[in-house]
Amino acid sequence: MGRVRSAVAKANIKLSISHAATLLAGSILLSSLLGFFRERLLNGYYLKTYPVGIDAYTVAFTIPDFMFVILVSGALSVTFIPVFNQRLGTGNKKSAWELSTSLVNFMALATLIASILIIIFADPLVSYVVGPGLDESGHSLAVSMMRVIAVNPFLFAVATVIASMQQAVGRFTFYALAPTIYNVGIIIGAVFFTGGINIFGWQVFDGGIMGVALGVVLGSIMQLLVSSIGLMGLGFDYQFKIYWKNKGFRQVLRLLPPRSLDQGADYLNGIVEMNLASRMVAGTVRSYQQATTLHLAPINLIGVAISTAAFPKMTERLSQGRPDLFKSELQSVLRIIIWLALPVATITFFTRGYLVNFIFNGFTFWYPGSGEVACERFTVTVSPTFASRVVFRLVTMYPISPVLISAPAFIVGFRAPTSSARPLALVASISMMSPFLIAPSTTRIYKITPR
């Protein structure tokens, strides 16, 4: 056991911002490539032969993902890491680890309740919120798959708190590896579980597209295990207890609701889009989700990788009372992202057709507008979101304004013809471009000006 701890400690050494950003970018690239392969695999299996099933699978993800986003996700890291680093910076390790163990237990409890509620109310959630346009077979399948995937918020919440601890102290090796393992689990489900699960001659599972949902759960468990390995050597002392009197924990709880509200309001766009897409031709939900996957890939590769690496160091500057160094590092990070984003956005624009064709597994788009929907949303939204996403990641205020700006567009989307998904792509474009318009005003709040 000592050798294992030593090996983990060597692999999980503290990294500089540049090395951490490089590692995270490489991890996100690998994870994105595996994600593209996963989507191509699923499209090859089901998009043409069983579009209702692949739509149901896509719909089943929406509510569990929403609960994870609103309860944990980005809101946790930007509220937890500054408070955690402040405790470590003053040498109060006992308070820092009490804060950590309290958050693990609190988030586990909150998301467990959310998972149970999703299982209970999966039927009305699909019927009225995310999949009202699905036919009877698609509806039943979406409900069943949502109940399987409902465990994800619980598993992801625990993994996220553990990963945030590692991010806060500059340990990124297992933090970077975990999301890649998640995609491996889904691929295992698609390749092996869909053919059925047989153990010593006993048929445990008959197979079918439900096997992909089991792969999702497997991927979540594997991600949690990998994240947990990264705790070795950090000195974390887990206790099955919530320290309600810990001031840092209470501070994080005060910061979480407004941040969660902002995150949830932003994600509501996706729920409305899914609702609209489910009312259109079978396969539209999947095509639309593919566009989202494609347009997020370069954003994650550049903006998220660099900002995730820079965020702990920048919060440390603020805890040291050095806003001058914070502003200087923010300017440097933004310059790097902009210079990297411009060529990537240009390449993305000119290769959009090839990328969409690849992820659709080489199909000639089998109903009018399916490929164009993915291509249009991917192209129009990828460039504007680079700068705005990283600004909102680094700066603690995440405005609800983008949702308010895009609301009229969704009203137009509701009136769009159900036979055409192109207006839906336009709606998403307006929604995704609105944060770009808000970003400059956000930076002015912090008086960030070019040197």
Residues facing 442 on adjacent strands: none
CA dihedral for 82, 393, 309, 324, sign (positive or negative):
negative
**What is each CA distance from 213 to 141, 274, 408, in whole angstroms?**
11, 19, 35
Beta strand residue intervals within 72-212, DSSP E: 197-199, 202-205
**What is each CA distance from 329 to 225, 307, 439, in whole angstroms?**
34, 11, 17
Helices (H) and strands (E) in the chain, counts: 18, 2
Record the pTM. 0.77
- Angle ∠(379,384,390) on CA atoms, nearest 5: 125
Q: pLDDT per position in the chain (451 positions), as tens? A: 566 666 666 666 777 777 777 888 788 888 888 988 998 899 888 888 888 999 999 999 899 988 888 877 756 767 888 888 888 877 888 898 999 999 999 999 999 999 999 999 999 999 999 999 899 999 999 999 999 999 999 999 999 899 888 888 878 888 888 888 999 999 999 999 988 888 877 877 878 899 999 999 999 999 999 999 888 877 788 889 999 999 999 988 888 887 777 667 767 777 877 887 788 777 778 877 777 777 777 777 777 777 777 777 777 777 677 778 878 877 887 788 778 777 877 777 777 777 777 777 655 444 444 444 444 444 444 444 444 444 444 444 344 444 444 445 455 555 555 555 566 666 666 666 655 555 555 444 444 433 3
Which pLDDT score, from 0 to 100, does residue 422 have? Answer: 63
CA dihedral 367, 270, 117, 214 (to 10 degrees): 50
Closest by Cα among 142, 137, 230 to 179: 230
**What is each CA distance from 386 to 31, 106, 380, 435, in whole angstroms?**
19, 33, 12, 10
